[in-house]
Structure 1
Amino acid sequence: MNTDHKVLKEIHHRLVVSCQALPEEPLHSPFIMGRMAYAAYLGGAAGIRANSVEDIREIKKTVQLPIIGIIKQVYEGSDVFITPTLKEVEALYNEGVDIIAMDATVRIRPDGTTISELFPRIREMYKDQLFMADCSTFEEGIMAEELGFDLVGTTLSGYTEATKGIALPDFDLVERLVSRLSVPVISEGGISTPEQLKKMYDLGVYSAVVGSAITRPMEITQRFVKAVRE
């Protein structure tokens, strides 16, 4: 496991907070995401996961933390939307993102390729860049390491057709990946309590990303409202 990189050391056994809001959400705004990231920083976050060059640029104005950058872009005919093509990778690289995260599932990408066809070319083009694989299954995690990804995340477990209905957070997937992979495993997806986060670290994850439970007040409110109604 090559964890000598300065950025990896900064997030090791610490919390990365995802600050994202999609266009249809009330907090969608680079300025608001910048303030959200600043609040996370003041709370002790060691890194930020952010979507879009605009949000990342705003976050950088007030927060000097490692950024895991993505660009969510929907293309007709493909279910892959997290940094799906070379175009999005280039935009994030040019912005100077510390870690670029990509969908690393086996699904067909918008350009008709698979991650196993696309990523070797990207790896060759950007030798100095850290890349994180957003995976949904154990097999995808193994493939991602073999392809040359620097980090493997459980981001898409429960969000693909093959993993629909899996209870989140996916402790089993994390445990299996940690026991098998030599690259850092990042737990992401469905962590909603400090106790769940602690369990992830007990299982041996390198770092963890928490998003909705911290930075999506609409979803947090819905959880409380649901409890009241039940």
Structure 2
Amino acid sequence: MKMTLVSLTVVFVLASFATLGYASDPSPLQDFCVAVKDADAAVFVNGKICKNPELVVAEDFIYRGLNKPGNTSNPIGSRVTPVNVNQLPGLNTLGISAVRIDYAPNGLNPPHTHPRATEILVVLEGTLYVGFVTSNPANPAIKNKLFAKYLYPGDVFVFPEGLIHFQFNVGKTNAVAFAGLSSQNPGVITVANAVFGSDPPINPAVLTKAFQVEKNVIDYLQAQFWWNID
């Protein structure tokens, strides 16, 4: 019995280390794996196919343009400029990417999640109100907890992987932030877009029961133009 308990403990510890080892994108097994464009790939894989190393050039590792403000003339007043493996092929297998986020006054980067990445945000200009919400607690009597702060230039805030988070420009001037993400292709699920703007739409009966509102409210929300953040 004692040996069995020890064995189970060893298995649990090893499994825990394995889980930590795969908390972000898998580690690369070579110096680099510059991505081939999807249209040029002969097969589909979990990630991108590698370019022949003999054909790799310095241009595969550079992206220019994050010095340019994004156009915030849209309904939410923000613009995300991503630099992931789709814009910078040299990021393939490296487990990292970046974004620039521009906010007009009262601009919002609406509640969303990155299913494959933790995000670390640094404010360059302006004042942001940011936060994230925890996943459902084990005790159903306890509500999801909000962690939120006001950020100023030079402040850094982290959003854990997969959790719903947001940024809101509470200042009277434009705001700018940069963020790093722990995946070459972190993905984005914008909550309002996914719930009310899916194609085809989710059956209103599902949403009226989920949100405990009348059907006319759901009809109104589903009729809106939902703006993608990147």
Please say whether Structure 1 and Structure 2 have the same fold, judged by a TM-score greater than 0.5: no
For CA contacts below 8 A with separation 6 or more, give which structure has more relative contact order. Answer: 2
What TM-score does the superposition give when structure 2 sets the normalisation length?
A: 0.27
What TM-score does the superposition give when structure 1 sets the normalisation length?
A: 0.27
Q: Which has the higher helix share?
A: 1
